[in-house]
Structure 1
Amino acid sequence: MNAPLHLGIRAHDFGQLPLPQLLSKLQQYQFQHIQFAVRKSFPSSVPRFGALSPGTAAYYRQAFERAGIHIAVLGCYVNITHSEVDQREQALTDFGVHLRLARDFGASLVGTETGSVGQGYTEANFTEEAFLRAVDSVRRMVIEAEQFGVTVGIEAGLNHPLYTAKLTRRLLELIPSPNLQIILDCANLMRPENAERPADVIEEALELLGDRIAVIHLKDFRLEDGQIRIVPAGQGELPFAPILHYMKYQRPHLHGILESTSEPHIADSVQMLNQLYDRL
């Protein structure tokens, strides 16, 4: 008997709801795990990252556990490659707070992307200098993660210093620690120049990253007017069959997390993914 598809969602894709309402939504769609960025979902609980405490973590962990929901990824959205040293150091400090409290949240993986050397899109992100700055930050994060017995999850991002599977593989080779794992989002690997061959991009990513993939984000993309536009899973051009085949036969029970998929699109995306998974 094959393992079922384990689907979750980023909690903040429901917006900023009162906790009982968020729990009800998660149960309505039968999600059993989430990616939880507490400051995005409940900013009043976290006026600043330094305000996070073991009490904050225990409060949310207990609430989710009572509802039968596990925090698969503790999300920490910080810019670890910012060109300003002070801002980069603050980002690393904030990420460190999440590493220290991850076990209190009931999570073993703390995730982020690599950010940007500036504000928003800049071609400076595609330089060797930007990549090596990201490597330096990730190395420091992993050293700290090893001290707490938790794992850093790094995600390649569209137009970020880490934006291809090959660069992600290089990151893993430069930091060969088991406490560094990958959050794979195949839609984030799409660019205008490779958008016509998404199956090749997916195949390369699965081959290069293999068992270092800890979580898979599930969203879609369209190429519109020469630009990549992110859309809910099943509404774009990404072929999900090879991703789900990998999850079903090569990495059974691997967590899949819907991203950039909000109501009213969640039900359709969940149905599409489950039906395709069952047919494989």
Structure 2
Amino acid sequence: MMLGAYFNMVHPDLKVVTDGIDYFKKHLEISYALGAKYVGTETGSLMGSPWGYVNENHAPKTLEKVIEIVKDLSRTAEKYHAYIALEGAYAHVAYSPKIMKKIIDQVQSPNLKVTVDLFNFLHIGNYKKRMAIFDEAISLLKDHIVIFHLKDFIVDHDALVQVGLGQGLMDYKTIIKKIKESCPNAYLIFEGVVGDDIKTSYKLIKKLLKE
């Protein structure tokens, strides 16, 4: 389904960026033979490692760098009949659904697709608007979405902490309903779901998909 070849497109060390581009292109080259339609990555952070938030991540000039790299990757994807699954995150360059749409519009490649991870777009200042953010992602990106990452969370000491699906603040009854209506062919992938939570999360999503 998807090969993960995540790399930091704006790492301050240029060699890390060029190595990441080469690594990603190699995955695009072999993905078809492996039966993996998509190769996934995020856009990264100027912080380097870890990929944390810095103000300049959200600057237009940083976005321009990402767009140029994604254009290059998209040409390779087209050559090998592969698809890029680009994922956004608030701490990174593609920090909102609107920025993701801007990248899509600027790159103009049929081989550039989107992974939506709602939790990635959230922080302590906006988590109460999570359904509005999800609706915006669906509205702007539904024709390009191929994967949803499913996560849940609670707020603990001003931090968003992941928990099993159905144990936190995410309204999965509504989320799954909207996915079925707008992106019925998208893949649903658990991320950060561990231990006994895997089984209960699976049961929940299976039940909601049947409703």
Q: What TM-score comes out, normalization by structure 1 length?
A: 0.70
Aligned to 2:182, which of 225, 243, 250?
Answer: 250
May I ask how many residue pairs the two structures share in their alignment?
208
Whether the aligned pair in 1 keeps the contact of 2:138 and 2:182 (CA below 8 Å) is no
Whether the aligned pair in 2 keeps the contact of 1:81 and 1:137 (CA below 8 Å) is no
Shift of 1:237: 1.1
Helix, strand or coil at the partner of 1:182: strand
2:171 and 2:80 map into 1 onto residues whose CA distance is 38
Whether the aligned pair in 2 keeps the contact of 1:151 and 1:179 (CA below 8 Å) is yes
1:112 matched residue in structure 2: 41
Shift of 1:223: 2.7
CA separation of 1:85/1:112 partners in 2, compared to 1, >3 Å: closer, same or farther? same
Shift of 1:224: 2.5
CA separation of 1:221/1:132 partners in 2, compared to 1, >3 Å: closer, same or farther? farther
1:122 matched residue in structure 2: 53
RCO comparison, higher one (Cα < 8 Å, 6+): 1
Higher mean displacement: 108-117 or 120-129? 120-129
Shift of 1:150: 0.7
Aligned to 1:183, which of 115, 118, 126?
Answer: 115
1:156 matched residue in structure 2: 88
1:222 and 1:128 map into 2 onto residues whose CA distance is 32
Shift of 1:243: 2.6
Shift of 1:82: 0.9
1:239 matched residue in structure 2: 171
Aligned to 1:264, which of 184, 190, 196?
Answer: 196
1:223 and 1:127 map into 2 onto residues whose CA distance is 28
Deviation per residue, 1:197-252 (Å, 9 max, x gap): 21111111111111110111111122332232233322221222333113323332
Deviation per residue, 1:39-87 (Å, 9 max, x gap): xxxxxxxxxxxxxxxxxxxxxxxxxxxxxxxxx1111121122122111
2:138 and 2:59 map into 1 onto residues whose CA distance is 24
CA separation of 1:142/1:226 partners in 2, compared to 1, >3 Å: closer, same or farther? same
CA separation of 1:137/1:230 partners in 2, compared to 1, >3 Å: closer, same or farther? farther
Deviation per residue, 1:9-57 (Å, 9 max, x gap): xxxxxxxxxxxxxxxxxxxxxxxxxxxxxxxxxxxxxxxxxxxxxxxxx
Computing the radius of gyration over CA atoms, which structure comes out larger, 1 or 2?
1
2:35 and 2:145 map into 1 onto residues whose CA distance is 20
1:82 equivalent in alignment to 2:14: no
2:72 and 2:157 map into 1 onto residues whose CA distance is 39
Q: What TM-score comes out, normalization by structure 2 length?
A: 0.92
Whether the aligned pair in 1 keeps the contact of 2:123 and 2:160 (CA below 8 Å) is yes
Aligned to 1:167, which of 81, 99, 105?
Answer: 99
1:156 and 1:96 map into 2 onto residues whose CA distance is 20
CA root-mean-square deviation: 1.5
1:261 and 1:103 map into 2 onto residues whose CA distance is 28
1:253 and 1:212 map into 2 onto residues whose CA distance is 11
1:215 and 1:88 map into 2 onto residues whose CA distance is 25
Q: How do residues 29-178 of structure 1 correspond to structure 2 at under 5 angstroms?
A: 72-118=1-47, 119-120=49-50, 121-123=52-54, 124-178=56-110
Whether the aligned pair in 2 keeps the contact of 1:194 and 1:201 (CA below 8 Å) is no
Helix, strand or coil at the partner of 2:167: coil
1:228 and 1:129 map into 2 onto residues whose CA distance is 29
Helix, strand or coil at the partner of 1:272: helix
Shift of 1:146: 0.8
Deviation per residue, 1:156-176 (Å, 9 max, x gap): 024111121111111111111
Q: Where in structure 1 are there 5+ consecutive unaligned residues?
A: 1-71
Q: Where in structure 2 are there 5+ consecutive unaligned residues?
A: none
1:211 matched residue in structure 2: 143
Amino acid at match of 2:64: L
Between the aligned residues of both structures, percent identity stands at 26
